Amino acid sequence: MRRLTVAVILATFLPLVAVAALPPDEAPAAPVHVQFRFASPEPVPDWEAFELGGVPYFLEPAVLLDESHFALASARRGRGEVWHVEVILTEEGARLLGEITTANLERRIGMVVDGKLLSAPVIKAPITQGRALISGNIDEYEARRIAAGVMAPHEMVTDEPAQEPPAE
């Protein structure tokens, strides 16, 4: 019961923290679209072409995970000025990522945010702890925008009661 209470508290308040981390003129955040898809530096028929740092990559059309599999997201600073977005996955997302990474060691997985390929790392070990990083050549602003945008659909936007549609 205690775990559930902590999860509910985090799920309720962390989106507000993520949004509050943006400059005031940027809140509330617009939702962002995130996709994890298999990637290859070699052309593959029917795979979508992207570019990352001037290098072509090809991504499988099938989406492995998307933002609906994220429970929480936060911008984090790594070493120096390197930023990333840490996500905590939903139960289904954690299960899927664990299965995908366990069965596909040494394959690349592309991380696409709003149609832009941010990175395509090689899967070196199973990811089974229900956490993932969205990384690439992103600065603080972009990391905060992505985190807030991932959390935007989870926000409680207004305290006003819902309006009835006009009668016809």
- Averaged pLDDT, groups of 10, the chain, 168 residues long: 36 37 52 93 97 95 94 91 92 97 97 93 95 89 90 54 48
Whether this prediction's pTM lies above 0.85 is answered by no
- Scan for tokens 């996955």, then name that residue: 89
Q: Is the dihedral angle over the CA atoms 71, 74, 78, 81 positive or is it negative? A: positive
pLDDT of residue 165: 47
**pLDDT of the residue at 28:** 52
> Which pLDDT does position 123 carry in this prediction?
95
- State how beta strands 131-134 and 83-89 pair: antiparallel
Q: Rounded to the nearest 5 degrees, what angle is found at the Cα of 78, between the Cα atoms of 58 and 119?
A: 0
Between the two ends of the chain, the Cα-to-Cα distance in Å is 47
**How high is the pLDDT of residue 168?**
52
Q: Is 123 helix (H, G, I), strand (E, B) or coil?
A: coil
Q: What is the pLDDT of residue 155?
A: 54
